[in-house]
Amino acid sequence: MNFINYISSSAIPIVIAIIIIYGLLEKNKVYDTFVDGAKEGMEIVVKLFPTLLGIFMAIGALRSSGVLDFLIQFISPLTNVFHIPSEIMPLAMVRPISGSASTAVATDIMTKFGVDSKIGLIASTIMGSTETTFYTIAIYTSCVGIKKTKFVLTAALLGDLAGMLISVAIWGFLS
């Protein structure tokens, strides 16, 4: 176990050293290249900030307004038919929108039901098998200037739905 801790602690410094050595061998100005990359990174952050702000405000409004609870109650007859536990529905609703909000919801689920419970296992599998779709699409498409995202969004949301349904099915079968 100590060996694994040593490897994980030294991985990043070793990678940085390899990059610096490679840059020196190729006769690149390593520090100047780093500074140029940092400048580009800051420009991207400035371009993405309005999109991120909008997403975070929408998530806050969704969580505090009670809309999420209303939607869960509205679709509960359908989820009951497919034996989808209502306890994971907040996670299923928030996951495509925000990683931090879904992490908070998943943590709350695991605190209430336990990490080894069926609900906790489903929540963990959903977290690992789905993506923060709206966030990811907003970031990637705004970076390259893509305006029409209808088909990308549809495919990504179908992938999220598949990940969620399969998570429920697998843990329904295994437990």
Tell me the chain's radius of gyration from C-alpha atoms: 21
Question: Model confidence over 122-166: pLDDT tens digits?
Answer: 999 999 999 888 888 888 887 777 878 888 889 999 999 999 999
Q: What is the pLDDT of residue 121?
A: 94
pTM: 0.66
Please state, in angstroms and rounded to a whole number, the distance separating the CA atoms of residues 171 and 166: 8
In the chain, where the domains are located: 2-174
Pairwise pLDDT comparison (7 vs 1), residue with the higher score: 7
Q: What is the pLDDT of residue 112?
A: 92
Please state, in angstroms and rounded to a whole number, the distance separating the CA atoms of residues 52 and 41: 15
Mean pLDDT of the chain: 87
Question: Model confidence over 75-99: pLDDT tens digits?
Answer: 989 888 888 998 899 899 889 988 8
Three-state secondary structure string covering 35-100: HHHHHHHHHHHHHHHHHHHHHHHHHHHHHHHCHHHHHHHHHHHHHHHCCCCHHHHHHHHHCCCCHH
How far from chain centre, in Å, is Cα 171? 21
Q: What is the pLDDT of residue 1?
A: 63
DSSP secondary structure of 122-174 = HHHHHHHH---HHHHHHHHHHHHT----HHHHHHHHHHHHHHHHHHHHHHHHH
Evaluate whether 126 touches 169 at the Cβ level (below 8 Å): no
Q: Is pLDDT above 90 for 63? A: no
